[in-house]
Each structure stands twice: as C-alpha cells, then as structure tokens.
A = this chain, B = another copy of it.
Amino acid sequence: MSTTTYPLAAREGANDRESTLEIAGRRIGGGAFATIAGPCTVETRDQTLSTADAMLEAGVQFFRGGAYKPRSSPYSFQGLGPEGLEILREAKQRTGLPIVTELTDVRDVEAVAAVADVIQVGARNMQNYPLLAEIGRSGVATLIKRGLAATLDELLMAAEYVLAEGNPNVILCERGIRTFENATRFTLDVAAVPVLKERTHLPIVVDPSHAAGRRELVLPLSMAAAAAGADGIIVETHPTPETALCDGPQQLHAATFADYLRQVEAAAALAGRVPAPEATTV
C-alpha cells in the first residue's frame, strides 16, 4: 500500500528518520527505550499505589493502569471509572511517573485527558474512528494497540486519524494477532517491529503480556521484542497476581520486576536503544 494513504505517519514524510517523542519529561523513540508498566486494572488504592512505588523503584518510564476496561462480557468487571482515575492521579503525584490509561468511550475523553499523559486505545477500538479523532483533538499523547486482525497498514491509518487532527504524539503497539495457534493467547507478530520501522517514524512498543496470556512467556517475548528493535514495552504487573480481578495469569510479580527489566534493557541495548535519562525541564 502506498504510504500516501498515511502521509503524516509515513517515514518518508519525516526525512527518513525515527521520531523521538517527549511526553511529560520522558522520551521514547529515536534510540530512547521506554518501559510502561503497571497493573491491568486499577482495583484498589493500595494495589495501585504499591505497584506504582515498585515501578518507580524498578526504573520504568511510565505507569499504566486501567480505570475503564472493555470486557467481552457485559457481566464482567468494567473498571472503577472516575474513582480509578482519581487513584491514578494520586499515583502520579506520589511517584512522578506519567500515566498511561485507556479510553473506551468518546464521551469520557475530557475526564481521561485530565489525568492521562498518554491515552491508550485498545485493540478493540483501533478502528473506532470518532474516538481516535477526539483524542487527536485533545492534544494528549496516545498509544494505539493493533487490532486482532488489523494489518500494519490499517494500524498506520488508525494513527493517521490522530495525526490528521494536529496531534503528533502517537505511539504504536504490537500486542499479538489472532491466529489458529492457541498455545498462546495471541500470536505476537515480532516482525511488526522492523516492518513498522520501515514504514513509519513513530515509536513502536510491544505488549508481551496480552500476546502471552501467561507470565512464564512474558520475559522471552519481551527479550524478543527488545532485541528486534522495539522502542519500548508495555507490560502488566501486580503485587499479587493470584488475586487480580483481571488477567491475573499474565501479570508479572511487582516484587521481581526490576530483575525482569534489567534483562529486557540489555536486549534493547543490543538493538541500539537505551532508556533516556529524565529530562530536567518538562
């Protein structure tokens, strides 16, 4: 597909080099490797703040947690909503870590934008164009996850919906596609990293947690992503995954997260990507 279908996202429209985004004092892309970590879901104040403390200690760049959760069943827990956003705000004040959190309803964009440094668009909403356009207009940075059956060009066109509104801060996320293989929850398409690098200047992160579906696989998938040249990872962690309300089996133990992160950063270094020091001026 010609890159003229996504002129703003296309690499050739950016003097053929990777963009470095600076978001709330952190950098991602252009050699800067960023780790986005936190619980799948904001469950309680304690769970969230203790995880945020552990992430600060481990040295991540962004803290993630879901206040609004899209769930396949209407009868599943859908997140704490505004109360969850308040807890995230407290986590940010306490740790200084910028917040990545998901938006699922276009009518919540203002509430989420008031807390989020990066608004996450989940795989189910990758082609929710009104949502993308509204995020574009909000001016808040966004992380767009690839849909389960989306081609890489469709992901880039989703990004274009945000960019076309004048918002340049878009991060792309590979999180696994749906295939016949059910040994993993989804099939991580690690080749998406170098292919996207050819086509776009935007930073690319990988979500190993959702692809794996089991924490035993999160480290090897993270290593693979980092060694393949990803600009970062977005990964789930919890103080006690066994009691998590959502996706417990795939969340890493917060207590051992630092060990995990050092290994992933070593793999990223092989691909020429290192965590950037925090900017002194924001």
Residues of A in contact with B, size category: 35 or more
Asked if residues A191 and B180 are in contact (CB atoms below 8 Å), the reply is no
A179-197 toward B: CB 8 Å interface, digit per residue (1/0)? Answer: 1111110011111111100
What is the minimal beta-carbon distance from A81 to any residue of chain B, in angstroms?
12
In the complex, chain B residues whose CB is within 8 Å of the CB of A127:
70, 72, 124-125
Tell me the A106-127 residues at the B interface (CB within 8 Å).
106-107, 124-125, 127
Within 8 A of B (CB), among A175-219: 177-184, 187-195, 198, 211-212, 216-217
Which residues of the partner chain B approach A149 to less than 8 Å between Cβ atoms? 147-149, 177-178, 180
Inter-chain CA distance A194–B187, complex, in Å, is: 13
- The 8 Å CB contact of A107, one of B104, B107, B190, is B107
The yes or no answer to A241 lying at the interface (CB within 8 A) is: no
> Which of A151, A152, A194, A225 has the most chain B CB atoms inside 10 A of its CB?
A194
A166 at the A/B interface (Cβ < 8 Å)?
no
Shortest CB-to-CB span from A76 to chain B, Å, is 9
Counting every copy of the chain, the complex holds 4
Question: When chains A and B are docked, how far (Å) is the Cα of A263 from the Cα of B271?
Answer: 9
**Contact in complex: A211, B194 (CB < 8 Å):** no
**Nearest CB on B from A215, distance (A):** 11
Nearest CB of B to A272, in Å: 11
Given the known A-B contacts A151-B180, A194-B216, are A160 and B73 also in contact in the complex, defined by CB atoms under 8 Å?
Answer: yes
In the complex, whether A82 has a CB less than 8 A from a CB of chain B is no
A187–B191 Cα distance when bound, in Å, is 7
Chain A window 56-67, contacts with chain B (Cβ cutoff 8 Å), 1 for yes, 0 for no: 000000000000
A124–B229 CA distance with the chains assembled, in angstroms: 30
Cα of A129 to Cα of B229 in the assembled complex, Å: 34
23 cross-chain CB contacts under 8 A: A6-B73, A70-B129, A74-B133, A74-B164, A75-B160, A104-B129, A148-B149, A149-B177, A179-B179, A179-B180, A184-B195, A188-B190, A190-B220, A190-B221, A191-B217, A194-B217, A194-B220, A220-B229, A223-B228, A223-B229, A223-B270, A223-B271, A227-B227
On A, residues with C-beta under 8 Å from B are 5-6, 70-75, 104-107, 124-125, 127-130, 133, 147-149, 151-154, 157, 160-161, 164, 177-184, 187-195, 198, 211-212, 216-217, 220-221, 223-229, 263, 266-267, 270-271
